[in-house]
Amino acid sequence: MAVRTITHVDMDAFYASVEQRDRPELRGLPVVVGASPGGRGVVSAASYEARRFGVRSAMPISRAVRLCPSGVFLPVDMDKYQRASAEIMAILGDFSPLVEPVSVDEAFVDLSGTAGLFGPPDDAVRRIKARIRAEVGLTASAGLATNKFVAKVASDLEKPDGLVVVPPGTEPQFLAPLPVERVWGVGRVLAGALASMGIATIGQLQRMPVATLARRFGKHGRQLHDLAFGRDDRPVEPSTPAKSIGAETTFGVDCREPDRLRRTLRGQAERVTRELRQERLAAARVTLKLRFADFRTLTRSHTGDPTQDGLEVYRRAEALLAREAATEPVRLIGVSVSRLDVEASGQLPLLDSAVVRRERLARAVDDVTTRFGEGALVPAPLLRRPRRMGGPRQSRRGSRSSGFLGRRRPAETPSSSASTPPGERV
């Protein structure tokens, strides 16, 4: 069997680098892209100058300000970053038809069999990096290996503007000295479990019998053993479908109001399911995310029949929220959907006529939103009750929870939405 050649191309501090490219006066300065410095969101990207102060992606913006008070703090401009991403992906497509975008700023490229066109694989990757620099004005780091896992690890080792090549057959030796957290799927909890077994490096993981790992971690133990030796046979898939869609809201002040939490969830469910319908998808799993004032984060999921109905997604998320009966102040709330199926919703009318009526209504609302913009029509529960001067609170028309009224803005503004790609890898 021919040896595969796969590169992982990862842009360097992507959002911040785009800002520095477009504003030369920011070059050499610590640039932080993310939430407002006076807000409660997080860092989306930090330039390498800002990282010297300890600023990292996903860090609370308030901590970034404390670490780097002299930093230049900028809002996220996703349209700009997506335009740059499209240019980069087009360049990668010139080198291979097998390009698998992982996020807005990174992708795998299968270069197997392209030597006749572009020369040795390492030369091809250098040409890719040079074109990105010349045509997009940004630097990229890359790893070159026989599979996706090793290429991904390699691309992260010599940032920025690096290139790490792992020759075929040297994968175990390359991985051995690296910390075990470099293995896909090894987070804080699993790393702690491995540490209790005396495993801190990938080399130590390699020396652990696979039977021992399987007894301790089940099927995942065998996967850990394979990855420790650099074995990964997954192909580069150019059209990988979305795995999940979600929306989150960070409150300006920690929320202690159950009604506000539910109202926020309802708006998020509508945004997420609108994107499901646009992509002609339905979701079987609904996940609730809560982050409390002390930054402790909780997630709970429910799996049922596939749906693309906003009310149904909300009901599942609200049931998860009610089950927790959380009394602590909430900093962030979010809902996401996964286990996505194409056209699975086509079977729903056979099960519930109310569902098909709501879906027809939702598609009509989608058409109005496309024509007149976000917020042209919103579910009635998302409207605040206006007060009459000197009189009682007005009643709200359309008391059915599936009803829509317009034009009002939803009660909460999301800090991130389903259509916003996740923050870049760093």
pLDDT tens figures, 212-238: 999 999 888 999 999 999 999 999 999
Nearest to 33, CA basis, from 68, 9, 3, 61: 61
* Catalytic residue (one of 106, 248, 318, 359): 106
What's the distance, CA 396 to chain centroid? 37
pLDDT, position 113? 93
Q: Give me the chain's average pLDDT, please.
A: 84
> What is the C-alpha separation between 147 and 73, in angstroms, rounded?
38
Helix (H) / strand (E) containing 50: helix 48-51
Q: Is the pLDDT of residue 123 over 70?
A: yes
The beta-carbon contacts of 344-353 under 8 Å, at least 24 apart in sequence, are: 344/281, 344/282, 344/284, 344/306, 345/282, 345/306, 345/307, 345/308, 347/306, 348/282, 348/305, 348/306, 348/307, 348/309, 351/305
Question: Right CATH number for 172-228 from 3.40.1160.10, 3.10.20.90, 3.90.1170.50, 1.10.150.20?
Answer: 1.10.150.20
Residue type, 322: A
pLDDT, position 278? 86
> What is the C-alpha separation between 382 and 127, in angstroms, rounded?
52
Give residue-wise pLDDT tens across range 318-367.
Answer: 999 998 876 789 999 999 999 888 754 444 444 455 555 566 555 556 55
In this structure, what DSSP letter does residue 241 have?
A: P
Quick one: three-class SS letters along 212-240? HHHHHHCHHHHHHHHHHCCCCCCCCCCCC
Read off the pTM: 0.69
Nearest to 234, CA basis, from 114, 157, 150, 175: 150
Active site residue 106: yes
Q: Residue 26, SS3?
A: helix
Domain boundaries in the chain?
1-168, 172-228, 244-405
CATH, range 1-168: 3.30.70.270
Give residue-wise pLDDT tens across range 377-388.
Answer: 556 555 554 444
Q: How confident is the model at residue 41 (pLDDT cuts 50, 70, 90)?
A: confident
Give the number of residues written for the chain: 426
Q: Is 65 exposed, middle or buried (0-12, 13-18, 19+ CB in 10 A)?
A: middle
For residues 72-84, give the mean pLDDT. Answer: 94
Q: Do residues 268 and 416 lie in contact, with contact meaning Cβ atoms separated by under 8 Å?
A: no
CB atoms within 10 A of CB 230: 24
pLDDT, position 378? 58
Q: 77 phi and psi, to 5 degrees?
A: -120, 80
pLDDT, position 219? 86
Q: Do residues 350 and 265 lie in contact, with contact meaning Cβ atoms separated by under 8 Å?
A: no
For residues 134-157, give the mean pLDDT. Answer: 97
% of the chain at pLDDT higher than 90? 65
Is domain 244-405 annotated with CATH 3.30.1490.100? yes
pLDDT, position 406? 34
329: its two tokens: 């102040």
> What is the C-alpha separation between 159 and 240, in angstroms, rounded?
27
